[in-house]
Amino acid sequence: MVIGMKTIRASIIGFGAVGQGVAEVLLRKNEYLKNIGLDITVVAVADSRSAAIDPDGVDLAKVLSHKRTEGTVGSEKLTGLEIIKNIDHELVIETTPTDINAGGVGLPNMLAAFEHGRDVVTSNKGPLALKYRELAEIAKENGSNFKFEATVGGAMPIINLTRDILAGNEILSIEGIFNGTCNYILTRMMEEHASYEQMLAESQELGIAETDPTYDVEGIDAASKLVILANSIFDIDATYKDVDVTGITKITPESLMLAQDDGYVIKLIGEVKKDLIRVGPRLVPVGHPLAVGGTLNVASVQTDLAGTVTITGRGAGSIETASAIISDVISIYRT
Amino acid sequence: MRISMDVELKDIPGQLILALNPISELKGNLISVVHHHEKRTPRGTIPVQLVFEIDHEKLNTIISRFEDSGVEVIRSGEERFLEHGAIIMIGHIIHTDIQDTMDKIDSTGFAEVVDLSLSMPRIDKPSSALLKIDAVGKKEMNDAMSLLKTVAKEKDLLVIEPIETELM
């Protein structure tokens, strides 16, 4: 035991790609965390059907292999919500799937965590896009930390960049590409002079687009992320329904060629400032910092002091998203 | 009024000053000078583009002063449109009366559609068009874009505008 070592008891609620990524990163970074004085002990892991519980620390390697071979995390029958309510711990890592219409199980999970005075680090956009205000207020009332870098732009650190690193600046606007699937489809349509349908099929084959791609291609995913930025950075009390959204399904290969001939690319751009939140296809000059290709995400922050700051990075992926989660966890407990 | 002018200079030292002096002496306001030193004309002269503001009645004096000093005026015209923009439309562009769509912009008096590239893959497929718009100023360009979006919405066309922030 290192002097000054802080033990944090955590639960991982939701064990899909992101939850598993978090478990892997905790294993991989165990020594790194101990070196900075943090002992993250996972006392419970839950997926939608099962749970693994051990007050002395669940064996994450065993849980990962159980999930891969059996499809479940363990033999306990507790739900995520029951774990949050009944098992003593400090931190809930909420990585259940996003449900943009009702908030899914994420919403009651987060509310229960705050009511029990626990901190929450999450990658789950749904509850924040629907009820940011309520969640932030309840967290504050209960003295809980609430961090959600992983909800916007995956590994790209947009929220902490604007809230912490650029502190002192007034944030005038943020615009960027917040959906890697759309970026991939548009990039490939331009490269191959191919139709939307063809490149959607390709990205589904590669696992970049879901079987039901609506959420990505209609701009819903990007809109939810903008709502989180609007609330957390611009203090706008907005929900998903306040966003003016146009997706990419009507983009033709001919329009991409016409744009290219005139020195532009077409990107699905999300934009948020004081009086406006919108997502839609836009012309971006070739060579502009926002004109990134493939599945990359990018965000340009306009500030009064620093001018424009642009960051780009991987917007999805299990380990990439876990990177944002682990960084939030460290920022809460590091002294 | 704002004038844009193409002139040609002899390729010997001291020529540019001959073109700039009359503008300042007649209290004109020089906005920009582009000196194409690398682009010699077949006549061996150097093309220069000038943009300046000057009272209307002094323009002819400037032109004759240029000619007297051997600065050849190739083109001179009033520069009305300072903003140039592009926009893409997708949908049934022709069948929703493209003439009417363009007239809506042209009839504002502060903006005009100056170029149209159209691509129609098949009769039953949506067309794509790139329109270039010139406007008197930035505000007018934004107004023209908003107007175009309103018209496009009525006609169920998708409009793709440029992003607002160009590289800073």
- The DSSP secondary-structure symbol of B61 reads H
CB contact under 8 Å between B117 and A258, yes or no, is yes
Q: Which residues of B touch A298 (CB under 8 A)?
A: none
Say which CATH topology domain B83-160 has: Alpha-Beta Plaits (3.30.70)
- Buried (b) or exposed (e) across B57-66, using 16+ Cβ within 10 A? eebeebbebb
| C-beta neighbour count of A124 within 10 angstroms | 27
In angstroms, the CA A151 to CA A321 distance is 8
Tens digit of each residue's pLDDT, chain A (335 residues): 556 799 999 999 999 999 999 999 999 999 999 999 999 999 999 999 999 999 999 999 999 999 999 999 999 999 999 999 999 999 999 999 988 877 789 999 999 999 999 999 999 999 999 999 999 999 999 999 999 999 999 889 999 999 999 999 999 999 999 999 999 999 999 999 999 999 999 999 998 998 899 999 999 999 999 999 999 999 999 988 899 999 999 999 999 999 999 999 999 999 999 989 999 999 999 999 999 999 999 999 999 999 999 999 998 889 999 999 999 999 999 87
In angstroms, the CA B27 to CA A189 distance is 54
Extents of the domains making up chain B: 2-78, 83-160
Concerning whether A267 is annotated as a catalytic residue, the answer is no
CB contact under 8 Å between A255 and B128, yes or no, is yes
Is residue B167 predicted with pLDDT exceeding 60?
A: no
CA neighbor of A278 nearest in space, from B156, B3, B164: B164
In angstroms, the CA A153 to CA A66 distance is 30
Structure tokens at A231: 């609330």
Structure tokens at A20: 């598993």
CB contact under 8 Å between B163 and A281, yes or no, is no
pLDDT tens column, B47-98? 998 888 888 889 999 999 998 988 999 888 877 777 889 999 999 998 889 9
State the DSSP string of A190-203. Answer: HHHT--HHHHHHHH
Nearest-CA distance from B6 to chain A in Å?
A: 25
| C-beta neighbour count of B11 within 10 angstroms | 13
CB contact under 8 Å between A282 and B165, yes or no, is no
Catalytic residue among A125, A131, A225, A267: A225
CB-nearest to A283 from B86, B127, B165 is B86
pLDDT for residue A3:
64
pLDDT tens column, B131-157? 999 988 888 899 999 999 999 999 999
Q: Which residue has the tokens 């009064």?
A: A304
CB-nearest to A175 from B117, B128, B163 is B163
A180-192 vs A253-261: helix crossing angle, rounded to 10: 80
Q: Which residues of B touch A261 (CB under 8 A)?
A: 117, 130
B113 in contact with A at a CB cutoff of 8 Å? no
Q: Which CATH number fits domain A161-314: 3.40.50.970, 1.10.300.10, 3.30.360.10, 3.40.630.10?
A: 3.30.360.10
In angstroms, the CA A194 to CA A185 distance is 10
Rg (CA), chain A: 20
Q: Which residue has the tokens 């751009």?
A: A269
Start-to-end C-alpha separation, chain A: 17
CA neighbor of A281 nearest in space, from B119, B101, B91: B91
Extents of the domains making up chain A: 6-154+318-333, 161-314
Q: How far is the CA of A141 from the CAs of A111, A114, A133, A138, A329, in angstroms?
A: 12, 9, 12, 5, 20
Q: Which residues of A touch B161 (CB under 8 A)?
A: 282-283
pLDDT for residue B156:
94
Is residue B168 predicted with pLDDT exceeding 50?
A: no
Residues 6+ apart with CB under 8 A from A332: A91, A119, A121, A145, A147
Structure tokens at B96: 């929703």
CB contact under 8 Å between A175 and B164, yes or no, is yes
Structure tokens at A194: 């191919």
Indicate the CATH number for domain B2-78: 3.30.70.260
For A256, what's the count of Cα atoms within 13 Å in the CB-facing half-sphere? 21
Do the domains at B2-78 and B83-160 have one common CATH topology? yes
CA neighbor of A120 nearest in space, from A105, A102, A134, A139: A139
- Say if domain A6-154+318-333 classifies as CATH 3.20.20.10: no
